[in-house]
Structure 1
Amino acid sequence: MNCSATKNSPDNLERRDTIRKTWLTDRNHDAMMRHFFVVGTQDILPEQRNTLQSEKEKFDDLLLLPKLQDSYSILTKKVLYAFKGIYERYNFDFLLKCNDDSYILVHTILKELDRWQNKGTRRELYWGFFNGRALVKRNGPWKETDWILCDYYLPYALGGGYVLSYNLVKFIASNADILKLQNSEDISVGLWLAPLVNIERKHDVRFDTEYRSRGCSNQYIITHKQTIQSMRNMHEYYQTSGVLCSKEVRNRMSYQYNWTAPPSQCCNRQSGIP
């Protein structure tokens, strides 16, 4: 499995180091996984370039994109270029895309993927926390001025962390030149994969990957929207206790995705779900 952190920037060294020293240490699986921090390097300052090169030589875990100016406003293009670069350079069965403010239980992800492969399914895997009832944004920083497909976005896994099997990454990378880029990278991935029929879209409430965290649950395997300090605290507690949360907290309700209902009715939040 390859793990790629795309919501990153040239100056996020402290956050990258925090990840290296926290959840990336949870790995008795060096032969099974390789991780990358993806950074666009177009038009960066010489001192930034030198610092990144030193970091790359030291850790060998930076995927530098020389033709991309690293900006939050073009995150979709960054994700697309990252998928293309990883597909062209590395061998893998699955790709976990995450943000650099997500805390991940890597060993649990790997165990789940092993179980999925052992089922012998011939379907591709798109695994995350899905949304299907999101109305198209017409105002604000994420507005879509040329989305004409329907009044809702197509079902997509939230961008704090999701897993794609190799052939899905291959499809995206091989068609990179003709894919439509929406403002939101996770919405774009859902759009790109929408016409493919041989996919298991696996909605998992253990992925706390929405735009704000639902709280802290010991069932979570990805927890988004973590500060550097909260990531350190979570890791320290996990190492000593074997669970993520000193106290489980629910800030908002979750949902099981109803794939039998129209997307606009898919995702009704209710109590009792992590």
Structure 2
Amino acid sequence: MCKALVTGIHQNLSEMVHCFPMPSLLVCMFASFASIYVAGRLWQNTQDRIYLVKELDKLTGQGQSSLSVDDTLKIIACREQHKKLDALEMELATARKEGFVSNHVIETNGTYSKRKPLVVIGIFTKFGSQNNRDAIRKAWMGSGTALKKVEDRKGIIIRFVIGRSANGGGNRDIDRENRQYNDFIILDDHVEANEELPKKSKLFFAHAADKWDAYFYAKVNDDVYVNTRALGATLATHLDKPSVYIGCMKSGKVFSEQNHKWHEPEWWKFGDKKSYFRHASGEMYVISQALAKFISINKSILRTYVHADISAGAWFIGLDVKHIDEEKFCCSSGSAGALCAVV
């Protein structure tokens, strides 16, 4: 091959001599340099090919390989990517074991990077419940630097959720408490009332999804104790599921009697008029980011029913949602390994 290329170069140069007279010595020098250059390039490419094939043979242990250089490069690149994936899987396994977000779960946005929170927990509270809030701060939520450590180290953001008073009473107390602890989500457009709890749930998820780019969002009552370490470990096992609804699932009875405590005014909408569709208990449940974003986008048209947990379940009917019945979320059952408990 090299000989043929050199012969061709000599022929071209001979033709050029007939067109442009030049000293024969100069022509010979030029031809010699051209031959050396071409032969050198061919030798270098051959050496590169031999080197890459040998390296591949070392990796595969298959002896002589008939793969091309391009295929060899692709295989080497793929194996490097496998090594990186193996390292990431080991870090994720550690995160699942310890209930922490991996230090390398980082999203880049423009010129800066940030760690993505694992979950935003909204503790639903009301006016006159400061004793409950103080107990929660001492028991599992923390305050000040302790609360900040939970956010930074575990990726768990915890806030009390409350609206405004219809007559203005209690608003100043809440504002004062928030200035002291800085641990509230105050829904200024929401009026606190028992019958408005479904709307409160909707506004919380919409607000949290808009404010924090997290993997999950949780709703908890202010009389529930949460084991945040166990919660983090449990949620880490569901990071690969884009649309999940996790909780203590049930399909309770529909009560049509007006004098009943759990009366459902629209009882006639529920199939056999005897049981609700599948939904999570309102004491504590978690939804993934996709569902929280769905609520945020559609909050103005999502229907609410008399019960907050029923309303939340209704929002996901018709969506491609994975319902996960997690016994650990049954806070009032006292089941083994429970990550929450009513106090």
Output the TM-score relative to the length of structure 1. Answer: 0.73
- The amino acid that maps onto 1:58 is Q
Q: Which whole-Å deviations, capped at 9, do the CAs of 1:90-131 have from their partners, x for residues lacking one?
A: 2211111110111111111111212222xx34x312111101
* Contact 2:246 2:323 survives alignment (8 Å): yes
Alignment of 1:1-274 (within 5 A): 1-6=119-124, 8-25=125-142, 29-31=150-152, 32-45=155-168, 48-117=170-239, 120-121=240-241, 123-132=242-251, 134-139=252-257, 140-147=260-267, 148-150=269-271, 151=273, 152-197=275-320, 199-209=321-331, 213-214=332-333, 216-224=334-342, 226=343
Instruction: Measure the CA separation in 2 of the matches of 1:141 and 1:66.
Output: 29
1:86 Cα offset (Å): 1.4
- The amino acid that maps onto 2:318 is P
- The amino acid that maps onto 2:322 is E
1:4 Cα offset (Å): 0.3
Greater shift after overlay, 185-194 or 140-149? 140-149
1:56 Cα offset (Å): 1.1
Instruction: Measure the CA separation in 1 of the matches of 2:335 and 2:299.
Output: 37
Runs of 4+ residues deviating >4 angstroms: none
Instruction: Measure the CA separation in 2 of the matches of 1:141 and 1:172.
Output: 28
* Contact 1:206 1:222 survives alignment (8 Å): yes
* Contact 2:247 2:330 survives alignment (8 Å): no
1:182 Cα offset (Å): 0.4
1:218 Cα offset (Å): 4.5
1:61 Cα offset (Å): 1.2
Q: Which runs of 5+ in 2 are unaligned?
A: 1-118
1:82 Cα offset (Å): 1.2
Instruction: Measure the CA separation in 1 of the matches of 2:261 and 2:220.
Output: 21
- The amino acid that maps onto 2:319 is L
* Contact 1:42 1:65 survives alignment (8 Å): no
RMSD of the alignment, in Å?
A: 1.9
* Contact 1:39 1:62 survives alignment (8 Å): yes
Instruction: Measure the CA separation in 1 of the matches of 2:325 and 2:229.
Output: 19
Instruction: Measure the CA separation in 1 of the matches of 2:294 and 2:280.
Output: 17
1:217 Cα offset (Å): 4.3
1:38 Cα offset (Å): 1.0
Which SS does the other structure have where 2:327 is aligned?
Answer: coil
Instruction: Measure the CA separation in 1 of the matches of 2:164 and 2:207.
Output: 14
Structure 1 residues 44, 84: CA separation in 2 closer, same or farther (over 3 Å shift)?
Answer: farther
Structure 1 residues 125, 59: CA separation in 2 closer, same or farther (over 3 Å shift)?
Answer: same
* Contact 1:42 1:66 survives alignment (8 Å): no
Instruction: Measure the CA separation in 1 of the matches of 2:173 and 2:213.
Output: 28
Relative to total residues, which structure has the larger helix share, 1 or 2? 2
Q: Which whole-Å deviations, capped at 9, do the CAs of 1:130-173 have from their partners, x for residues lacking one?
A: 013x2222132432222414122110010110111111111112
Which of structures 1 and 2 has the bigger CA Rg? Answer: 2
Instruction: Measure the CA separation in 2 of the matches of 1:144 and 1:217.
Output: 29
Instruction: Measure the CA separation in 2 of the matches of 1:95 and 1:156.
Output: 16
> Identity, % of aligned pairs?
24
- The amino acid that maps onto 1:29 is V
Which SS does the other structure have where 1:179 is aligned?
Answer: coil
Instruction: Measure the CA separation in 2 of the matches of 1:208 and 1:167.
Output: 24
Output the TM-score relative to the length of structure 2. Answer: 0.59
- The amino acid that maps onto 1:145 is P
* Number of residue-to-residue matches in the alignment: 214
